[in-house]
Amino acid sequence: EEVELLSDSKYRNYVAAVDKALKNFEYSSEWADLISALGKLNKVLQNNAKYQVVPKKLTIGKRLAQCLHPALPSGVHRKALETYEIIFKIIGTKWLAKDLFIYSSGLFPLLGHAAMAVKPVLLTLYERYYLPLQRALLPSLQAFITGLLPGLEEGLEVYDRTDAMLVKLSLLVGQQVFYGALWGSMLVTP
């Protein structure tokens, strides 16, 4: 589909605009620069949402994962989650299922070190875009569960929500598959 779009001059301009927005990450020297770079990328993506495709998705996925690094402040994390939401709205569940590995590598580790203000935003992303994938989640189910487990810490505001999400997930993928992935997750988690 993307190859067909390359004959469209407006799509090529979109690719060039994404490239230009991604260059801003290379020149970022502090966290405020990252928020600015994410804002520029968001604008380009929103202005071209009609294509239902995100060019340079591997590079974008890498940059978003870098913006979710534990050492960065919650403001950068929130802005990155905003970018994920824009992308997920654009590509829909069909493409998200195919590109799950690109976007999940940054998202799954986040819940364990995210600020309290970021955790509900992350869980909303999961509820809106990941749970509807249902069995398409199977290739990354164990990693997804591993990413959710930090939300089950007693006393956390997101405990009940995380628990409900895990119950729903078990019903969506089947309990036998779910518990197999849960035990697999516990075996590899320190």
111: nearest Cα among 156, 75, 76, 56: 156
Distance (Å, whole) CA 93 – CA 38:
23
Please report whether residue 91 resides in a domain: yes
Please report whether residue 53 resides in a domain: yes
Domain range spanning residue 66?
2-107
Please report whether residue 14 resides in a domain: yes
Please report whether residue 6 resides in a domain: yes
Question: Could you give the angle at which helices 159-173 and 141-148 cross, rounded to 10 degrees?
Answer: 160
pLDDT attached to residue 1: 65
pLDDT tens track for 43-98: 999 999 999 899 999 999 999 999 999 999 999 999 999 999 999 999 999 999 99
Please report whether residue 66 resides in a domain: yes
Please report whether residue 12 resides in a domain: yes
Residue with tokens 């995380």: 162
Please report whether residue 56 resides in a domain: yes
Instruction: Determine which helix (DSSP H) or strand (DSSP E) holds 113, and give its type and residue range.
Output: none
Q: Into how many domains does the chain fold? A: 1
pLDDT tens track for 14-56: 999 999 999 999 988 899 999 999 999 999 999 999 998 999 9
pLDDT tens track for 128-143: 999 999 999 999 999 9
User: What predicted TM-score, i.e. pTM, was given to this entire model?
Assistant: 0.94
**Percent of the chain whose predicted confidence (pLDDT) is above 70:** 99
Distance (Å, whole) CA 190 – CA 179:
18
pLDDT tens track for 146-178: 999 999 998 889 999 999 999 999 999 999 999
